[in-house]
């Protein structure tokens, strides 16, 4: 049974930073693509970033502001978010899958989400 547990969400002012963490109970963590998605109120869930074995890719809206990283020893993936904007406000979800991609259908396991709120 794979479990993904997110942490690190909260309230931050525009221009500030937050770091999200996702602890994964996956025995072969390094073989999985670990991704972050987000869903703002009234909007569809969208891709943010993903990584596997150090190879990462990002949505255009966050590239240069967010950094995703994985710790294979701790089975944890992080999302460092900087220069946050009010439009980054959303529930952020951690996801794990085998196929590299930015579509939700590429991911087999999902966390329950953590709220990030950026005030102006």
Give the tens place of pLDDT for each residue, 22-81: 999 988 898 999 999 999 999 999 999 999 988 999 999 999 999 999 999 999 999 999
Buried b / exposed e across 11-38, counting CB within 10 Å, b at 16+? ebeeeeebebbbbbebeebeebbbbbbb
User: Residue 83 pLDDT > 90, yes or no?
Assistant: yes
pLDDT computed for residue 87 by the predictor? 97
Q: Which of 34, 40, 9 is nearest to 108 (CA)?
A: 34
Strand partners, 67: 80
pLDDT computed for residue 27 by the predictor? 87
What number is the average pLDDT over the span 96-103?
Answer: 94
Give the integer Cα–Cα distance in Å for 82 and 33: 23
């Amino acid at each position: 049974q794979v479990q993904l547990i997110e942490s690190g969400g909260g309230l931050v002012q525009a221009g500030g930073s937050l770091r999200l963490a996702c602890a994964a109970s996956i025995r072969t963590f390094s073989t999985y693509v670990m991704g972050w998605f987000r869903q703002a109120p009234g909007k569809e869930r969208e891709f943010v970033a993903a990584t596997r074995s150090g190879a990462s890719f990002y949505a255009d809206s966050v590239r240069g502001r967010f950094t995703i990283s994985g710790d294979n020893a701790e089975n944890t993936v992080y999302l460092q978010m900087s220069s946050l904007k009010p439009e980054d406000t959303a529930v952020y979800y951690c996801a794990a899958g085998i196929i590299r991609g930015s579509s939700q259908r590429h991911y087999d396991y999902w966390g329950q989400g953590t709220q990030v709120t950026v005030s102006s």
